Amino acid sequence: MVSTPSRARSGTAELRSNPDVTDSLITIIDLVRTKLATSRPELGRISNFGRSIVSQRVEEAIELGLLVEGDLGESNGGRAPRVLEFNARAGAIYLAVFGAKHVGFAVTDLEGAVIASSHHSWDIATGPDKSLTFMKEKIAELVEGSAAPKPWAIVVGVPGPVEFLSGKPVAPPIMPGWNGYNIRENLEPFYGAPAFVDNDVNLMALGEAKILERTENMAKLDLIFVKVGSGIGAGILSSGKVHRGANGAAGDIGHTSVVGDSSAVCRCGQVGCLEAVAGGWALVRDLERAVEKDPSGELGRLFAEKGYLIPSDIPLAAKAGDARAVEQVIKSARTVANTVASLVSFYNPHIVVVGGSIAEAGDLFLASLRQVVYSRSLPLATRDLKIVPALDNHQEGILGAAQLAIGELFSRTWMRTWLPEGSPRNYTPV
């Protein structure tokens, strides 16, 4: 489906000499890529371009390997038009989403469909060199096994704040050795493709938006993804785009002050932080103390078996009816809810998505949280508000990473630079 180099080159020369053509070509490709138009007549109707402009641009896009011609479409009385499709296999996206203790790798096409993926236990604290070498090995395995196209973009998610433009983690508390490490500089020459680095919860928020896209207008979607795992963090979308803030620190809500309980000591050194009251590590700390004294219930059994507890034990025990686990899940949900209520009044999102290991207690967590948010937020801000559980934390991160790359690669500004060459390979983001 990809054009031969010589044919592509002749199109290229014209494109470079005439930016008007580049602009209308971008419009045509985008209408097909986003499935707003699937045939030449439809392209004409929606773009207002004349018939000859449409067919010239479509030819150019086919030469560049970005559009492909499919079967005959439905007839509208006359001759049935050929269906046009975006060539999602023109390139691939290689991605890695690192959590604190695990990592997911995937290779997707240019629409974000997963071609191959794998998931591994991995300690982010082993540092960037070992982690990125591991990534290269595992991605190579995925690519080999799947005959994936060459990469058009690389995406890395990490569990800490990131300076998005430079691709460097900034003072990430649980990522020793990563502070200021230039991930882009490591990956771009290796893959010959632009690399994007972002916080993992930001990617989960983007992934949720992709899932919600079927029912919501993504271009206008204001969303907050709240992750209640070992720590607590948020990913924020503003009009469907990640809001990263001035230092890439936006969403770091784990250390905001909590109404009421202000005696809990936090691992950050302050007292009264949200995490120190409602985070998985704080619940584990309190529950381990409790089961040492009284080893009853499911938590007692788990502790006797392993000698320790982890955050995901708590929702499991709560579902098995352990009273102390239930109590802690409700406490966590109500405390998180107070913070979320303030954020809802401030930010007025369409949707709050709740994920993370503690939130996996399901309805128990969600119902307690909803109750507080709906009673404490401004009525207007909750009038249409939906509070929904996350679908699957690993899946969301991978979906979101692909969406991030697609949004950047096919932005009009950036397409202007790479389109005349036919692919963004060897172009780095500005």
Please report, as ranges, the residues that interact with a copy of itself according to CB under 8 A. Answer: 17-21, 23-24, 47-50, 53, 161, 170-171, 222, 234, 236, 238-239, 243-253, 255-260, 262, 270, 272, 338-339, 341-343, 345-350, 376, 378-381, 383-385
How far is the C-alpha of 41 from the C-alpha of 54, rounded, in Å? Answer: 9
Min CB(412)–a copy of itself separation in Å: 9
Nearer to a copy of itself, 288 or 421 (CB): 421
Query: What would the DSSP string read from start to end of 89-157?
Result: GGSEEEEEEE-SSEEEEEEE-TT--EEEEEEEE--GGG-HHHHHHHHHHHHHHHHHHHTPPPEEEEEEE
Nearer to a copy of itself, 220 or 306 (CB): 220
* Segments in 168-266 forming alpha helices (H): 183-191, 200-212
Min CB(372)–a copy of itself separation in Å: 10
Angle made by CA atoms 28, 31, 33, in degrees to the nearest 5: 105
Nearer to a copy of itself, 24 or 87 (CB): 24
Min CB(411)–a copy of itself separation in Å: 13
Min CB(241)–a copy of itself separation in Å: 8
The encoded tokens of residue 423 equal 């692919």
Nearer to a copy of itself, 92 or 203 (CB): 203
Nearer to a copy of itself, 182 or 345 (CB): 345
Min CB(324)–a copy of itself separation in Å: 27
Reduced to 3 states (helix: H, G, I; strand: E, B; else coil), residue 56 is helix
Give just the sign of the alpha carbon dihedral 177, 181, 187, 193.
positive
Min CB(243)–a copy of itself separation in Å: 6
Nearer to a copy of itself, 271 or 391 (CB): 271
Q: For tokens 């990473």, name the residue.
A: 401
Nearer to a copy of itself, 175 or 398 (CB): 175
Min CB(50)–a copy of itself separation in Å: 7
For 363, residues 6+ apart whose C-beta sits below 8 A from its C-beta are none
Residue 9 parent element (H or E): helix 5-17
Min CB(401)–a copy of itself separation in Å: 21
Nearer to a copy of itself, 61 or 287 (CB): 61
Torsion angle of the four alpha carbons 142, 147, 149, 153, in this order, in degrees rounded to the nearest 10:
0
Min CB(222)–a copy of itself separation in Å: 6
| Sheet with 195-199: strands ordered across | 114-121, 102-108, 92-98, 151-158, 195-199
Residue 85 parent element (H or E): strand 82-86
Helix axes 19-33, 40-47, angle to 10 degrees: 110
